[in-house]
């Protein structure tokens, strides 16, 4: 007996007003009781005294089971791919450096690359890299073709919302167990809500780095942003590290580390000074530096901030990520990977990686199938008025002219993380007119992913002390799937130890182009696996 494919546009199921109010109360009180929290907006006191629940969806969002399994499967290929990119200095110099790459036109990238190059010339004290990764996807729906997943981006620094994503997954399971969602849909059953263990998975990744450092009494340093509202997403990792791995952490900002971080000039051991009231020795040896900050230019307002980053990089501590791995996550690298033969360089080259290190043609093609078309904007001013039809791909001028002509179906991306940085569709021509020619190399054009139409959900956002919380608001939505992984790699063997470790879903109103939760565009969500 065959089952009819699930119609994603039929979501969410219908509820009566009384059912909706009851579910909203169940959900918000569960969120507040189980640490699905943000600190309040505004300046943060030294000791927090109030919090609100993070924004979330009332229902899990439908997602094709086979495509979810595909995303989990290829994460392990992506883990190895980006590890190998980070170890390929020649490739990163060419693509991201200040001589031929993005670094010559993007000051932020240029500063990071220049500091990394100087440290390489001096001789790096630590050759191991640690990465906590997240690969983000949208469903792609073309007429008369089956649904597919297409990659939005691959994140190599400060991947967030892993812990709160586990909590929202547990919230939806709780609603199903406690209310059966009032039997509003036969799809809502336990076997369609996949388990999510991102807290233990990412903590395991950090513990792998800590254990590779192998010094008793050392701790993991969390480099954090001042006034961080999303602190609970980080604290759950801290608790897991202590409870399951007996590893302690210390949290400091770049500003604090400028005064507290010391690298021994002979051993390159990184120590963070502290009061003897906190630690008897007055300093703590650091095994692993975990960045939840440092991915945006505004986090380096002075040369001293860059100096602090390079001081940490100079040390013997294992960095998550290294500057090399942060550069590997640049959008320009994503674009170059889509060019013919580049994936084969990293995944199919037996001379580089040996017979046991190469991936099958099928595995490479499966990963490549998640790419959208991408190209760079680095073109010459003299071809701005050239005839579009006379220019073929790869010639000077093609990228910019194609972006102008196809703007309605594109997004422009800079080398930035964190949301709110992209330029979309109708806004592209005016932006291109204002973009100095020397800055074009820092941007890529990417064809827009076309998500399925008609999917909805109820979105719940908390208010503040001054304003009451919103009720659940029904909206047409788009959901983005993120798959997490970790990798420890480098050293003499250049071996990559990696694992796929969980997932998240972020859901936004369909009229919003951006997708960040912390930036206010999206809510946290979880999966309802369906057969499509």
**Residues that are catalytic:** 134, 153, 155, 160, 331, 413, 417-418, 506
Q: Is 157 annotated as a binding residue?
A: yes
Distance CA 324, CA 487 (A): 14
Q: Is 101 annotated as a binding residue?
A: no
Distances (CA, A) of 63 to 8, 145, 342, 423, 476: 8, 16, 30, 27, 15
Cis peptide bond prior to 467, omega within 30° of 0: no
Q: Is 293 annotated as a binding residue?
A: yes
Q: Is 295 annotated as a binding residue?
A: yes
Contacts of 163 (CB under 8 A, 6+ apart): 198, 199, 202, 232, 233, 234, 235, 236, 237
Q: Is 508 annotated as a binding residue?
A: yes
As a 3-state breakdown, the chain gives helix, strand, coil percent values, each rounded to 5, of 40, 25, 35
| Beta-bridge mates of residue 39 | 51
Q: Is 420 annotated as a binding residue?
A: yes
Query: Nearest Cα to 111, choosing from 271, 334, 299, 292?
Result: 299
CA dihedral 213, 214, 215, 220 (to 10 degrees): 50
Q: Is 530 annotated as a binding residue?
A: no
Burial label, 346 (beta-carbon count in 10 A; 0-12, 13-18, 19+)? buried
Q: Is 331 annotated as a binding residue?
A: yes
CA dihedral 207, 213, 216, 217 (to 10 degrees): -70
Q: Is 501 annotated as a binding residue?
A: no
Crossing angle (nearest 10°) for helices 361-368 and 65-87: 100
Q: Is 115 annotated as a binding residue?
A: no
Q: Is 514 annotated as a binding residue?
A: yes
Q: Is 433 annotated as a binding residue?
A: no
Q: Is 396 annotated as a binding residue?
A: no
Q: Is 515 annotated as a binding residue?
A: no
Q: Is 518 annotated as a binding residue?
A: yes
Phi and psi of 398, rounded to 5°? -60, -45
Residue numbering of the annotated binding site for ATP? 153, 331, 413-422, 424, 446-449, 480, 508, 514
Residue numbering of the annotated binding site? 134, 153, 155, 157-160, 228-230, 234, 292-295, 331, 413-422, 424, 446-449, 480, 506, 508, 514, 517-518
Residue numbering of the annotated binding site for Mg(2+)? 153, 155, 417
Residue numbering of the annotated binding site for substrate? 134, 157-160, 228-230, 234, 292-295, 506, 517-518
């Amino acid at each position: 007996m065959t089952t009819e494919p699930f119609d994603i546009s039929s979501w969410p199921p219908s509820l009566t007003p009384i059912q909706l109010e009851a579910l909203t109360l169940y959900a918000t009180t569960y969120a507040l009781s189980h640490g699905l929290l943000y600190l309040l907006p505004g300046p943060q006191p030294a000791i927090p005294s109030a919090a609100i629940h993070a924004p979330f969806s009332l229902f899990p969002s439908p997602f094709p089971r086979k495509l979810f399994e595909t995303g989990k499967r290829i994460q392990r290929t992506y883990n190895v791919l980006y590890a190998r990119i980070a170890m390929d200095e020649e490739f990163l110099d060419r693509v991201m450096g200040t001589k031929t790459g993005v670094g010559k036109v993007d000051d932020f990238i240029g500063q990071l690359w220049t500091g990394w190059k100087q440290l390489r010339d001096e001789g790096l004290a630590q050759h191991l890299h640690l990465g906590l990764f997240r690969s983000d996807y949208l469903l792609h729906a073309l007429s008369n073709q089956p649904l597919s997943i297409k990659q939005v981006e691959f994140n190599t620094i400060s991947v967030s919302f892993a812990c709160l994503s586990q909590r929202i997954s547990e919230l939806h399971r709780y609603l199903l167990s406690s209310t059966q969602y009032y039997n509003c849909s036969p799809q809502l059953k336990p076997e369609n809500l996949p388990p999510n263990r991102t807290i233990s998975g990412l903590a395991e990744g950090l513990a792998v780095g800590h254990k590779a450092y192998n010094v008793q009494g050392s701790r993991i340093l969390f480099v954090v942003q001042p006034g961080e509202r999303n602190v609970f997403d980080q604290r759950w990792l801290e608790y897991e590290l202590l409870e399951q791995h007996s590893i302690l952490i210390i949290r400091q900002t770049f500003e604090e580390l400028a005064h507290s971080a010391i690298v021994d000039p002979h051993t390159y051991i990184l120590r963070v000074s502290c009061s003897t009231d906190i630690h008897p020795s007055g300093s703590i040896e650091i095994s692993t530096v975990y960045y939840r900050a440092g991915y945006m230019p505004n986090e380096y307002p002075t040369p001293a901030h860059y100096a602090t980053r390079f001081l940490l990089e100079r040390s013997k501590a294992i960095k998550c990520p290294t500057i090399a791995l942060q550069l590997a996550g640049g959008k320009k690298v994503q674009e170059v990977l889509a060019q013919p033969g580049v994936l084969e360089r990293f995944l199919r080259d037996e001379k580089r990686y040996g017979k046991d290190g190469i991936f099958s043609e099928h595995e490479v093609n499966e990963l490549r199938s998640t790419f959208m078309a991408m190209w760079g904007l680095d073109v010459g001013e003299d071809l701005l008025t050239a005839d579009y039809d006379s220019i073929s791909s790869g010639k000077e001028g093609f990228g910019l002219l194609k972006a102008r002509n196809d703007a309605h179906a594109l997004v422009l991306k800079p080398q930035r993380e964190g949301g709110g940085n992209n330029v979309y569709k109708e806004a592209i021509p005016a932006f291109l007119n204002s973009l100095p020619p020397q800055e074009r190399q820092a941007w890529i054009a990417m064809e827009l992913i076309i998500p399925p139409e008609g999917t909805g959900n109820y979105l719940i956002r908390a208010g503040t002390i001054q304003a009451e919380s919103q009720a659940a608001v029904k909206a047409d939505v788009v959901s983005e799937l993120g798959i997490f992984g970790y990798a420890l790699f480098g050293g003499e063997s250049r071996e990559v130890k990696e694992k796929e470790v969980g997932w998240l879903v972020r859901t936004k109103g369909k009229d919003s182009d951006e997708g960040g939760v912390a930036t206010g565009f999206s809510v946290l969500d979880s999966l309802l696996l369906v057969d499509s």
